[in-house]
Amino acid sequence: MFRRTILSSVAAIALSAVALPLAAQDTLRIGVEGAYPPFSSKESDGTLVGFDIDIAKALCAEMQRECELVEQEWDGMIPALKARKFDAIVASMSITEERKRQIDFSDKYYKTPARLVAPKDADFEGTPEGLAGKRIGVQRGATHQCYAEKMFPDAEIVLYGSQDEVFRDLALGRVDAQLSDSLIAQESFLSAEAGADYAFLGGDHTDVECYGEGVGIAVRKGEDELREDLSKAITAIRENGTYAEINDTYFPFDIYGGRPEGQ
């Protein structure tokens, strides 16, 4: 009896391994993160929500393709794309030269600058000198890792698996400051209770070498058709108002071109 159970489960696994690629051929599998609110996060019942998620769904509708969202931790995102766990990444991934050596990108679908966040009463400045010897938390494998290490060589760069963990340890005082997307910092930390005693430190950081030219959708190298379809779909939802609709449910201003003056 026991042996039969094993045999049948082995057969089931073998079958599903054969069946999966066949069934998945027409569906477009999209890698998303799920730990980067308000762009992507998980509700308590496990459903994925957020700007990236809605954009991904809108693009699929625009391209008239069936889509499946695949969750993936951030620092394994590009390896998973290359290993064909999914076909595209819609996860707030900045288009940078270094990433372009590994993968291709669609046109940008938004662009926001990075900023430092520190306690309101911090006695240091957001400059390379001011942060010398300080601990700066950043998300591992994010553009901020590249920028923080380049811009603040005398600071100790502390790496985290997800942006949520960076904020958590900033609130506990385990790091002196953190560097992240300004919008993320505003929406999911500074405007929350945990971030009440914290504020932006210094101005915008936009460095083309590390931060690139905005956030795009990543596809494997050579998949030009998919890449162009995605770029066209982005233009289309910008024009037909779908983008604005999604944008307005999350943000008080258009994030496509970056923050307007005074924000």
Rule CB under 8 A: which residues touch other proteins? Answer: 75, 78-79, 82-83, 98-99, 101-102, 140-142, 145-146, 149, 158-161, 165, 168-169, 172-174
Rank residues 22 and 172 by Cβ distance to other proteins and give the closer one: 172
Rank residues 98 and 204 by Cβ distance to other proteins and give the closer one: 98
Rank residues 149 and 254 by Cβ distance to other proteins and give the closer one: 149
Q: Could you tell me the smallest distance in angstroms from the CB atom of residue 174 to other proteins?
A: 6
Over the range 37-51, which residues count as b (16 or more CB within 10 Å of their CB) and which as e?
A: bbbbbbeeeeebbbb
| 202: region left, alpha or beta (phi > 0 left; psi from -120 to 50 alpha) | left
Q: Could you tell me the smallest distance in angstroms from the CB atom of residue 80 to other proteins?
A: 9
CB-CB contact of 57 with 65 (8 Å): no
The amino acid present at 248, given as its one-letter code, is: D
| 239: region left, alpha or beta (phi > 0 left; psi from -120 to 50 alpha) | alpha
Rank residues 1 and 172 by Cβ distance to other proteins and give the closer one: 172
Cα dihedral across residues 99, 80, 168, 56: positive or negative:
positive
Q: Could you tell me the smallest distance in angstroms from the CB atom of residue 170 to other proteins?
A: 12
Q: Could you tell me the smallest distance in angstroms from the CB atom of residue 243 to other proteins?
A: 27
- Other CB atoms within 10 Å distance of the CB of residue 8: 10
| DSSP string across 183-241 | HHHIIIIITSGGGTTEEEEEEEE--HHHHTTSEEEEE-TT-HHHHHHHHHHHHHHHHSS
Rank residues 98 and 209 by Cβ distance to other proteins and give the closer one: 98
Rank residues 158 and 226 by Cβ distance to other proteins and give the closer one: 158
CB-CB contact of 130 with 215 (8 Å): no
